[in-house]
Structure 1
C-alpha cells in the first residue's frame, strides 16, 4: 500500500508481482458517460487503469460507479463491494447528483464520504478524489437558478477538499477554470466529459500518482482516438438519454429549485443576499464539525 506517498509494495505471485487492483467508485462521471467505445461507456478510470502497472505488473480494474449515484449510495453500496475487492488504489468521486436533489444535506454527504474514504484508507488503499464543477455554471443557468446550485457545489467541494487532507488522497481540482472553461473537454450535455476530457482526467491522475511513485506505466494519450460524435449522434443523445435526464431532474429538483430561485430574488431585491451565503457557510461548518473537521470560511470556494 502506501506510507506517506511511498510506492506500493508489489505482492508476489509465482515468479512475478501480483496485479495492482484499481477500483472506481462514484456516479456517471466515473462510470464513463461521455466516452463511448464499441457501444459501452469506457471513461477515465479504464483509461488510467491501462497505464498504472509497469512492464511486469498487470492491473485488475473494477468500475463500481453507477449513473445517478449519491454519496450515500457510494458509502452504503459501492464501498462494501470495493472493500471486498481489496483495491490498492481506489477513486471516490461523487457529489454533483447530491446538489441536484431536493434532499440535499451537506451533513449527510460529509458523513457518507468520510465513512467510505475512511474505510478504504484504513484498509491501506490509496485514494483518488476530486473537486467537481458547479452544474449551474456548466449549464449556463440564469443567476437566480445558478446561485443556489453554486453554493451547494462549493460546500460539497469544501467537504471533499477537507477529507482529501484527512485521508491523504491524490486530489484533483476539476472545478478549476482550466477544466471548466475548455469546452473541448466536455460533451454535448455540458455536465460530462467527452473523450478528450476523460483522457485529460486520466492523464492528470496518472501524473499525480507518478509523482508519488504509484504509477509505473507510460501516461495515457491525451488526444482522442475515437471519431468525434456527429451532429446527428449528439442530437439523438439529447433527444433520448438527455431528455430522460432532464425529466428525472425536473421531477426531483425543479420544484425546490423554483423555491430557491424565488428566495434568491427576494434577497437580491432587499440587498440581503449575503444572508444566504452565511446560511450555507453555517451549514457547512456544522457538517464538518460533525465529522471532526475544521475548515476556514475561505475554503468555501475551493
Structure 2
C-alpha cells in the first residue's frame, strides 16, 4: 500500500529515471466534534487526534532529500490533510456535506467517525443512519481510499445519567456501534474499538465535559490508529507522542469551563435533547413498571436487523491508487 511519486528529471526534460520515493499520503477526516478536535485545545482553537495522526503520515526517511543536480536538501512537505469534521454533525451531514468535499480532495486515507450526535437527537432512525453511513463508506472505498472508523462510548455512561435516561441512550449507541462493526467488515476498514470500559473509566483521557477526549485521549486515539495503519503496511512516519504537551486542566479551570462553555452547550441542546430524553425516560419507566422492558431491546434489535438487511449489495473494493 505504499504510495509513490517520481521526483527529479535528468537534463533535456526526459522522464525521471531515478527510483521513485514515497510521497506523503493524502488524509481526509470526516465526522463531528470528536474529529474536529474538541477537548484538545491549542493556541488558536482545537487540534485533536486527526491532526496528530496527519503529522505522522510523512514517510520514514523522507524528511530531507537532495534533488538531482546536487542542490541543498529540502524538507519533505507534511502530509496533505483536510479536516472536514464539524461540531454537532449528524451522519446525514457527513453524507451530504462532508463526503463530496472529501471525494474532491481525493484522499488515500479517510477517517469517518460519527454517530453519537444521532443518538442524542429526537429523530433517531437507525435505518437512515445505516443508509447514510453505508453510502459514505461505499463512495470512499470505490476510489481506493483506506477507511478508518470507530465505535464509541455510550454518552449516557459518559455523562453519568440516571438509569431511566442512560438506558435508552445505551440502546441507541449499541445499535450504532453494531452498525459500525458490520460496515467495518463490509468495507475492510481500520476499526478502532473505542468503547472499551477501561477507556471510558480512565478520567485522565477525558475533558471536563465528559463527552470529548482531552489531549491525552486524543493522542491515544491517534497512536492507536497509527499502529493499525502501520500493521497494514502503509508508509508512515513515527507514531504521535502519547504524552501531553500541556498539563491537564485544574479543578477550578474545569469548573469554569463547565459553567461557561459547558452550560452554553446544554442550553443550545436542551430544546432538542432534553424533551427527547424525558420522553425516552418516561417510556423506559413505564415498561419497567409493567415488566416489559425487554420489549424495548427487542424492538431496537429488530430495527437494526432490518436496517442491515436493507443495505444494497456491496461493490468490490478498489485498492489504493486504482
> Taking structure 1 as the reference length, what is the TM-score of the superposition?
0.91
2:11 paired residue number: none
Deviates more, 1:60-69 or 1:173-182: 173-182
CA 1:236–1:215: 2 relative to 1, 3 Å: farther
Q: Which runs of no fewer than 5 residues in structure 2 stay unpaired?
A: 9-19, 63-75, 314-322
Establish whether residue 24 from structure 1 lines up as the match of residue 29 from structure 2: yes
Residues of 2 paired with 1:280 and 1:130: CA distance? 21
1:192 paired residue number: 212
1:206 paired residue number: 226
SS at match of 1:83: helix
Residues of 2 paired with 1:89 and 1:18: CA distance? 13
Residues of 2 paired with 1:105 and 1:230: CA distance? 39
Q: Give the CA deviation at 1:13.
A: 4.5
Aligned residue pairs: how many? 287
Per-residue CA shift, 1:253-284, capped at 9, x if unaligned? 21121111111111111111100000101111
Establish whether residue 163 from structure 1 lines up as the match of residue 168 from structure 2: no
Residues of 2 paired with 1:269 and 1:8: CA distance? 59
Per-residue CA shift, 1:200-244, capped at 9, x if unaligned? 000000111111112421111111112322334322321222112
C-alpha contact (below 8 Å) 1:28/1:66 kept by paired residues: yes
2:303 paired residue number: 283
1:176 paired residue number: 196
SS at match of 1:222: coil
1:300 paired residue number: none
Match of residue 10, structure 1, among 4, 20, 26 = 4
SS at match of 1:62: strand
SS at match of 1:20: coil
CA 1:39–1:9: 2 relative to 1, 3 Å: closer
Residues of 1 paired with 2:83 and 2:276: CA distance? 32
C-alpha contact (below 8 Å) 1:44/1:198 kept by paired residues: yes
Match of residue 83, structure 1, among 71, 93, 103 = 103
1:38 paired residue number: 43
C-alpha contact (below 8 Å) 2:91/2:115 kept by paired residues: yes
2:276 paired residue number: 256
SS at match of 1:78: helix
Per-residue CA shift, 1:87-122, capped at 9, x if unaligned? 010100000000000011111110110011110000
Establish whether residue 95 from structure 1 lines up as the match of residue 122 from structure 2: no
C-alpha contact (below 8 Å) 1:51/1:215 kept by paired residues: no
> Taking structure 2 as the reference length, what is the TM-score of the superposition?
0.86
1:129 paired residue number: 149
CA 1:106–1:160: 2 relative to 1, 3 Å: same
C-alpha contact (below 8 Å) 1:89/1:125 kept by paired residues: yes
C-alpha contact (below 8 Å) 1:134/1:149 kept by paired residues: yes
Match of residue 139, structure 1, among 159, 176, 180 = 159
The structure that has the greater radius of gyration is: 2
Q: Return the structure number with greater helix share.
A: 1
C-alpha contact (below 8 Å) 1:22/1:49 kept by paired residues: yes
1:116 paired residue number: 136
Residues of 2 paired with 1:72 and 1:257: CA distance? 21
Q: Give the CA deviation at 1:183.
A: 1.1
Deviates more, 1:251-260 or 1:115-124: 251-260
SS at match of 2:271: helix
Deviates more, 1:212-221 or 1:33-42: 212-221
